[in-house]
Amino acid sequence: MVHSLRFGQCTDTFEENAIEWDQLHELDHDILKEIGVKVAGHRMRILAATKDLHLTVTPQVCSPGPVAARDSETVAEAERRQLTVMFADLVDSTQLSQRFDPEDSRDMNRAYQDAAKSAIEQYDGYVARYMGDGVLAYFGYPQAHEDDAERAFRAALELTGAVRKLVTSVELSVRIGIATGPVVVGDIIGEGAS
């Protein structure tokens, strides 16, 4: 799943240092520097994405059936299902944000997010979270379709075209990663679908 997040050149760094999906939530700036992620913007993007995803993989979470409540909190039952996850982010957004006025950067990001939301929803995807210039979407949740992977691919193509057509002072492009596999999905942390 590390591959599906498409952290650019950092994916190879993760593999070389044997950093797995279940360890991403433990990353910090020092660890990322130590393994060779030199660009501060890349470290910030990675930390924001891993923090927001609440990534943990344990045998208990991966087993079918209800997930035990944490700290005596009542949480909804989660379910095991096949899910296609799409993550999209603007290419060179850190550099772009440094070149433009904050309001202009916000407007550019908002236009990109609107285009992403439109493309995702056109194919019955679910926007799970906005993470700066990143958009995390699920295909197969809450509504499952036999062709969710194809729907994600079509949404990615739609988004790529829509980003090229955005009226901005610079040409924008988007990086998109898609992965399909079995997951446990539901309100497992008491804060909405994860």
Task: Encode the chain (194 residues) as per-residue pLDDT tens digits.
Answer: 344 444 545 666 766 777 766 676 677 878 878 888 777 777 777 777 666 544 333 333 333 333 344 443 434 567 888 999 999 998 887 777 778 788 888 888 888 999 999 999 999 999 999 988 899 999 998 889 999 999 999 999 999 999 988 877 778 889 999 999 998 877 545 555 55
Confidence (pLDDT) at 67: 36
Confidence (pLDDT) at 83: 93
Q: Which residues of 3-18 are buried (b: 16+ CB within 10 A; e: fewer)?
A: ebbbbbebbebbeeee
- Distance, CA of 183 to CA of 96 (rounded, Å): 35
User: In 10 A of CB 43, how many CB atoms?
Assistant: 19
Is residue 43 included in any domain, yes or no?
yes
Same domain, 48 and 100: no
Is residue 135 included in any domain, yes or no?
yes
Confidence (pLDDT) at 12: 63
Same domain, 28 and 88: no
Domain count, the chain: 2
Measured distance between the N- and C-terminal CA atoms of the chain, rounded to whole angstroms: 15
Confidence (pLDDT) at 10: 63
Confidence (pLDDT) at 139: 95
Instruction: Answer with the one of 15, 37, 53 that is the final residue of a domain.
Output: 53
The answer to pTM > 0.75 is no
Is residue 108 included in any domain, yes or no?
yes
Q: Which domain holds residue 23?
A: 2-53
Same domain, 85 and 181: yes
Confidence (pLDDT) at 56: 36
Confidence (pLDDT) at 29: 76
Confidence (pLDDT) at 179: 95
Eight-state DSSP code of residue 142: S
Is residue 58 included in any domain, yes or no?
no
Q: How far is CA 111 from CA 107, 138, 160, in A?
A: 6, 20, 13
- Distance, CA of 2 to CA of 21 (rounded, Å): 6
